[in-house]
């Protein structure tokens, strides 16, 4: 149940903003995410849905909302130096006006300090009394007088306390920083954290079922939309400028769908043949399922499972968008698939639920929702899904297992578990499926693993098993 806000002595159930003010829109998103547990990407989409923001305003809203949420712990650490009472004692609106103001002062060098302070004061006038206005003004002006940017802060020593240093300087939870330091070392963990703090690229997969790559590129050029080719996948383009111009063109949406390059490489590793019978075990929202269909020329059958009814609708919506008709969405828990499905499959894709630690740059709030306990739980869920579908594999057929996690419990340890418990499955070499050996690891290139700090790509993992006859 949503909790009401107390503002100027009045109880209201939702913050109402004039849509033309980008800072108010960003504040609305931040409060819903931090205080109410909403998801940043969903709230940003809702905010954009009004269609009343310019491209410049959209970029500003995105940077301010994503940045404030990503830098949450660092901003609170700074604010605690200037606020005498605990931050959790402040009204939600006031607390997040301070966070958003501090973010502009410390991280957005294009925003003058005077504008950051003055605009925050204007917001405080709407959501507080005179004392609140003075308080917000004093705190932010004190910050601006002491620090010109985040680089002026004295963080804990990286030599004496590398975990605290990196957690605060690069805005990640300490437990995750500790794991990564143990695995990658200090230098690569810093690179990884920096990658996660970058704005994500706008990448799209061209729908080659309805258009050709060069034809779509020509369309973009005609519309004044700047792009570059993906590094590894010919169907992927990185939109460098005017992505909003592409988004509003309803007539062009059938020709592409947003997808990151390493995510698209999972479809390449699956490599389905036309006419195949395929099981996609955790299919929503259908990005990879539609890619498989695209590769097959929309010829064959793809049984697409998901456990949530509303996400089944997302699969249907994306199929309709791309003109795909060979996908059959089913509301089903993949853990029980062997008990309900009678068919045997030419290919099974287990794009497993995971911690998502490889895609933290795309999900601003995700780093604050994760925990070591969650990794243990999701690893067990992954085993149960694999156990529920491996018996459905035809002899000689492949099973592709993938995650967008960096954690070994969800990746290599699951591979070892499969090989130990299912001797009929053998791991395949991926050199014929992945266009660059830079992305391959392990014995004879049997593991695909893109690493943000090494490849400047989102972190994805995949292996391909085959059931020996």
Residues with catalytic function = 404
Centroid of chain to Cα 443: 30
Going from the C-alpha of 203 to that of each of 4, 258, 324, the distances in angstroms are 38, 6, 21
What is the full DSSP assignment across 215-229? HHHHHHHHTT-EEEE
**116-125 in b/e burial notation, b at 16+ Cβ within 10 A?**
bbebbbebbe
Going from the C-alpha of 3 to that of each of 17, 36, 333, the distances in angstroms are 18, 8, 32
Q: How far apart are CA 202 and CA 240, in angstroms?
A: 7
**Beta carbons of 116 and 101 less than 8 angstroms apart:** yes
Token digits for 199?
Answer: 């704005």
CA contacts within 13 A on the Cβ side of 281: 32
- Please list, in sequence order, all residues whose beta carbon lies within 8 angstroms of the beta carbon of residue 281, skipping any fewer than 6 positions away: 305, 334, 337, 348, 349, 350, 351, 352, 385, 388, 389
- Please list, in sequence order, all residues whose beta carbon lies within 8 angstroms of the beta carbon of residue 208, skipping any fewer than 6 positions away: 235, 294
DSSP conformation class of 151: G
The reply to whether omega before 54 is within 30° of 0 (cis) is no
- Cross-strand partners of 328: 303
- Cross-strand partners of 239: 202, 227
Going from the C-alpha of 83 to that of each of 80, 115, 239, 326, 424, the distances in angstroms are 5, 21, 42, 59, 62
Please state, as a whole number, how many other Cβ atoms lie within 10 Å of the Cβ of residue 202: 18
Q: How far apart are CA 101 and CA 119, in angstroms?
A: 8
- Cross-strand partners of 301: 277
């Amino acid at each position: 149940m949503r909790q009401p806000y107390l503002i100027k002595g009045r109880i209201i159930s939702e913050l109402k903003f004039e849509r033309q003010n980008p800072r108010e829109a960003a504040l609305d998103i931040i409060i819903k995410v931090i205080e109410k547990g909403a998801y940043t990407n969903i709230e940003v989409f809702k905010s954009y849905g009004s269609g009343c923001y310019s491209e410049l305003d959209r970029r500003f809203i995105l940077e301010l909302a994503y940045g404030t949420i990503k830098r949450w712990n660092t901003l609170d650490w700074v604010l605690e130096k200037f606020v005498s009472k605990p931050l959790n004692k402040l009204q939600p609106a006031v607390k997040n006006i301070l966070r958003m103001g501090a973010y502009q002062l410390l991280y957005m060098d294009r925003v003058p300090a005077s504008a950051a302070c003055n605009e925050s004061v204007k917001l405080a006038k709407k959501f507080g009394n005179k004392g609140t206005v003075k308080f917000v003004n004093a705190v932010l002006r004190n910050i601006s007088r002491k620090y010109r940017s985040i680089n002026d802060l004295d963080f804990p020593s990286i030599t004496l306390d590398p975990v605290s240093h990196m957690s605060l300087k690069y805005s990640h939870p300490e437990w995750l920083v500790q794991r990564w330091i143990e695995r990658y070392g200090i230098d690569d963990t810093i690179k990884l954290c920096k990658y996660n703090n970058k704005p994500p690229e706008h990448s799209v997969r061209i729908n080659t079922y309805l258009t050709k790559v060069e034809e779509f590129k020509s369309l973009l050029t005609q519309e004044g939309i700047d792009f570059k080719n993906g590094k590894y996948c010919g169907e992927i383009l990185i939109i460098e400028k005017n992505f909003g111009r592409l988004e509003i063109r309803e007539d062009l949406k059938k020709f592409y769908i947003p997808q990151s390059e390493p995510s698209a490489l999972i479809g390449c590793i699956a490599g389905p043949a036309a006419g195949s019978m395929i099981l996609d075990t955790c299919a929503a929202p259908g990005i990879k399922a539609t890619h498989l269909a695209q590769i097959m020329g929309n010829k064959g059958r793809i049984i697409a499972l998901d456990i949530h009814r509303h996400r089944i609708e997302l699969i249907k919506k994306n199929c309709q968008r791309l003109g795909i008709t060979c996908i059959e969405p089913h509301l089903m828990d993949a853990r029980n698939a062997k008990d309900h499905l009678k068919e045997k499959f030419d290919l099974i894709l287990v794009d497993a639920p995971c911690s998502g630690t490889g895609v933290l740059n795309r999900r601003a709030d995700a780093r604050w929702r994760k925990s070591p306990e969650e990794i243990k739980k999701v690893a067990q869920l992954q085993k149960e899904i694999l156990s529920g579908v491996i018996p459905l594999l035809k002899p000689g057929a492949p099973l592709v297992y993938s995650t967008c996690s960096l954690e070994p419990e969800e990746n290599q340890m699951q591979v070892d578990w499969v090989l130990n418990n299912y001797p009929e499955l053998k791991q395949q070499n991926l050199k014929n499926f992945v266009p660059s050996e830079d992305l391959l690891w392990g014995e004879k290139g049997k593991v695909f693993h893109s690493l943000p700090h090494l490849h400047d790509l989102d972190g994805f993992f995949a292996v391909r098993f085959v059931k020996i006859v």
